[in-house]
């Protein structure tokens, strides 16, 4: 309890035995010296002297110079050595202290104190030692010495007091204290204790950190009003007083707490009365845990459940035998069953097209491919059927296997598909159609042909199809096309033709050979679709797949492709390239204060400036997303070239931006990785450039850093803090 209240072990508990030992040793020594003096006055009666020493209940030795003159029976009983074993100090030292280093330390200390005693500079300072007994036991001994006569020439009386048990108890208590302190420091809870005035007597380190301090010593003596949660101090004190006054613990309650950075969190607290050895309440002991994360997880779990239940897709959880373990609200609504009715059913209970015998193969497919999909029909409770798409996903969570299966009602989609098929049939008449004879002379066209090519019937009938020839395709192309028609009876593919106005355009052309009753080709029918718009869309999609929508800079995919190509080239040429990762400093405040529209304009301006910093067309400026950009210098002579460009970039970004009548000031942190110094492949270069960028962030932002392995910063929550502060 003294440790809990004062941070120290009770001196009464530890020192009482030791003090008693010292007193006894001193008294015994004094009595012996006294009797020796009396005996000396009485003609030095050696027989009586021996009887006195031999009857003493503590080990005693008489020494003169380096000789041991006498050992009493208690000495031999305690240590096991007789005078025959240790007739001199030279015999005693290695037996009592076999460890060389310890022996030298004890021997040096002993000789120093004996010398001081001999020189009459003061009484012998008692010495605590660990003596190796004859039976190999180790005993903790308190040794003291006194001269037999005032001039010290007659030798010394040495008294040994065995304090092994007291030392063992003291060490055990210290160990117990260390264990308790270690437990308090390592348990995943905040622990604190206060006096009757709610003043802190101690705590563990995590509690001190919660309070905004570094160590428990920074907390001791303080009140809650002096800590970061001072606005809650009155409530905390009320709880303390209630616990102390009633002597009853207050367990497991939630209360608010303010963190050093001003955030309000929820903690789960318990407080107990702190009692002394007499059972009197002298304070309060408290523990708590931060439950904010748990509360957030509970909230997210609740939200996820609500999302699953309310989404307009039927969701089922199935065990390996196919039994429904969970169904969401929409599954119940779509089938007309209650949740209680559905749980425990199987897919074949609601799917007339799916038999129980199919399930093992389905589960095996889930195990092998992790997913399966099927189109089927489900049957409602009232017997009605509806079309569904089923998507099953295999999940193994902590050894438990199950499938999350999503079922989408596709009744409406089926209806639309039917309509689309009808529309497709009608659309066939909208294709350009041309009919030729066996010699490829045009006999007839439809209106769509004219709309596509610009040629009217009068202009093309009687002419061959080469009237549309674009000269883009070579003779081999047409040779292969007609070879396919002759062999297979048809050909279709993409072809470039020329309109009447000379404009080139892509079209999807299908040519089918029409044969007469004898099997001889009599006509050819060509259907054509102008795919200019589709090609444009394809080009746009390809562009969107490789370029950032906002800035029109290459995106991550195109960047990696160019980086692969650049690496291949510099490897062949044994040259260098540089990869720079840029992150805009203070962009998030601009976005938050001026709006995303201004933020987007700012990103476009940044992209424009970055492109102006490049001096070669082979260099690439890319945007990874957010406020992150990458510069690829596909060929450099040395690192200085990369540094020069990076410094120019920093300088350009530091210049103010005029956006929508706002003057915006930002900067950029740049990390640079050089091939081959900082990485041999795409992954290593991108990682190390990103790492170097974080080094620049740590260096104060608005600067550049080349990658340095010794300063490498792996991604961790500290980086996340920097990013959040800087976005």
Q: Is 627 a catalytic residue?
A: yes
Query: Whole-angstrom Cα distance, residue 72 to residue 22?
Result: 20
162, 210, 627, 690: which is the annotated catalytic residue?
627
The phi and psi torsions of 371 (rounded to 5 degrees) equal: -155, 150
**How many Cβ atoms are within 10 Å of 8's Cβ, its own excluded?**
10
In Å, how far from its chain's centre is CA 437? 73
Closest CA to 255 of 291, 283, 223, 228: 291
Whether residue 706 contacts residue 692, with contact meaning beta carbons closer than 8 Å, is answered with yes
CA distances from 217 to 10, 204, 289 (A): 19, 10, 21
The token pair at 429 is: 């008449």
Helix axes 11-41, 164-186, angle to 10 degrees: 160
CA 311 from chain centre, in angstroms, equals 31
Identify the CA nearest to 280 among candidates 239, 237, 247: 247
Element (H, E) at 176: helix 164-186
3-state DSSP: the chain helix, strand, coil percent, rounded to 5? 45, 30, 25
Please choose, from the candidates 289, 288, 276, the residue with its C-alpha nearest in 3D space to the C-alpha of residue 196: 276
- Is the backbone peptide bond immediately before 676 cis, with ω within 30 degrees of 0? yes
Strand partners, 441: 464
* CA 173 to the chain's CA centroid: 40
Rounded to whole angstroms, the Cα distance separating 446 from 469 reads 19
Q: What is the largest CA-CA distance in the chain?
A: 162
List the catalytic residues.
Answer: 627
């Amino acid at each position: 309890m003294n440790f809990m209240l004062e941070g120290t072990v009770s001196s009464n508990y530890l020192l009482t035995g030791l003090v008693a030992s010292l007193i006894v040793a001193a008294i015994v020594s004094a009595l012996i010296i006294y009797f020796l003096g009396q005996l000396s006055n009485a003609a030095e009666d050696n027989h009586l002297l021996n009887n006195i020493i031999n009857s003493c209940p503590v080990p005693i030795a008489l020494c003169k110079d380096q000789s041991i003159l006498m050992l009493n029976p208690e000495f031999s009983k305690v240590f096991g050595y007789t005078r025959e074993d240790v007739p001199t100090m030279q015999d005693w030292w290695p037996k009592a202290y076999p460890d060389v280093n310890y022996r030298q330390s004890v021997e040096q200390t002993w000789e120093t104190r004996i010398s001081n005693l001999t020189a009459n500079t003061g009484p012998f300072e008692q010495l605590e030692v660990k003596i190796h007994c004859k039976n190999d036991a180790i005993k903790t001994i308190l040794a003291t010495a006194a001269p037999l006569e005032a001039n010290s020439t007659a030798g010394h009386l040495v008294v040994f007091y065995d304090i092994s048990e007291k030392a063992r108890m003291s060490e055990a208590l210290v160990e117990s204290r260390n264990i308790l302190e270690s437990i308090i420091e390592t348990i995943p809870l905040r622990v604190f204790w206060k006096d009757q005035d709610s003043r802190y007597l101690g705590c563990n380190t995590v509690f001190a950190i919660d309070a905004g301090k570094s160590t428990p010593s920074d907390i001791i003596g303080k009140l809650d009003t002096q800590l970061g949660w001072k606005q809650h101090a009155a409530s905390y004190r009320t709880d303390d007083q209630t616990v102390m006054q009633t002597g009853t613990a207050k367990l497991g309650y939630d209360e608010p707490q303010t963190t050093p950075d001003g955030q309000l969190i929820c903690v789960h607290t318990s407080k107990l009365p702190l009692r002394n050895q007499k059972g009197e309440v002298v304070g309060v002991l408290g523990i708590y845990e931060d439950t904010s994360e748990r509360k957030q997880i509970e909230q997210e779990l609740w939200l996820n459940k609500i999302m699953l239940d309310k989404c307009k897709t039927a969701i089922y959880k199935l065990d390996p035998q196919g039994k429904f373990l969970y169904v969401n609200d929409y599954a119940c609504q779509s089938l007309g069953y209650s949740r209680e009715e559905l749980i425990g059913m199987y897919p074949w209970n609601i799917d007339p097209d799916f038999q129980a015998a199919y399930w093992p193969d389905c589960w095996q497919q889930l195990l092998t491919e992790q997913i399966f999909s099927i189109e089927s029909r489900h049957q409602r409770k009232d017997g009605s059927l509806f079309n569904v798409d089923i998507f099953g996903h295999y999940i193994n969570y902590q050894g438990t296997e199950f499938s999350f299966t999503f079922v989408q009602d596709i009744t409406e989609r089926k209806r639309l598909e039917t309509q689309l098929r009808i529309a497709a049939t009608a659309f066939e008449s909208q294709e350009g159609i041309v009919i030729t004879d066996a010699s490829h002379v045009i006999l007839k066209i439809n209106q769509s042909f004219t709309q596509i090519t610009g040629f009217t019937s009068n202009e093309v009938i009687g002419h061959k199809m080469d009237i549309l020839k674009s000269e883009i395709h070579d003779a081999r192309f047409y040779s292969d096309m007609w070879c396919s028609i002759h062999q297979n009876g048809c050909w279709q593919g993409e072809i470039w033709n020329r309109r009447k106005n000379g404009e080139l355009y892509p079209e999807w052309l299908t040519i089918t050979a029409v044969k007469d009753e004898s099997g001889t080709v009599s006509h050819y029918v060509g259907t054509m679709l102008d795919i200019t718009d589709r090609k444009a869309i394809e080009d746009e999609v390809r562009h969107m797949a490789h370029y950032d929508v906002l800035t029109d800079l290459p995106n991550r995919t195109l960047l990696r492709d160019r980086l692969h190509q650049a690496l291949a080239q510099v490897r062949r040429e044994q040259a260098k390239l540089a990869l720079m990762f840029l992150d805009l400093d203070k962009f998030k405040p601009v976005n938050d204060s001026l709006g995303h529209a201004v933020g987007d304009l700012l990103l476009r301006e940044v992209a424009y400036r970055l492109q102006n910093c490049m001096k070669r067309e082979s260099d690439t400026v890319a945007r990874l997303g957010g406020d992150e950009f990458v510069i690829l210098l596909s060929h450099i002579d040395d690192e200085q070239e990369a540094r020069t460009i990076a410094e120019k970039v920093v300088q350009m970004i530091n210049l103010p931006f005029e956006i929508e009548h706002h003057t915006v000031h930002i900067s950029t942190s740049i990390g640079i990785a050089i091939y081959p110094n900082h990485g041999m492949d795409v992954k290593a270069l991108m990682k190390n450039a990103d790492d170097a960028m974080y080094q620049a962030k740590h260096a104060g932002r608005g600067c550049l850093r080349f990658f340095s392995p010794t300063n490498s910063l792996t991604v961790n929550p500290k980086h996340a803090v920097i990013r959040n502060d800087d976005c």
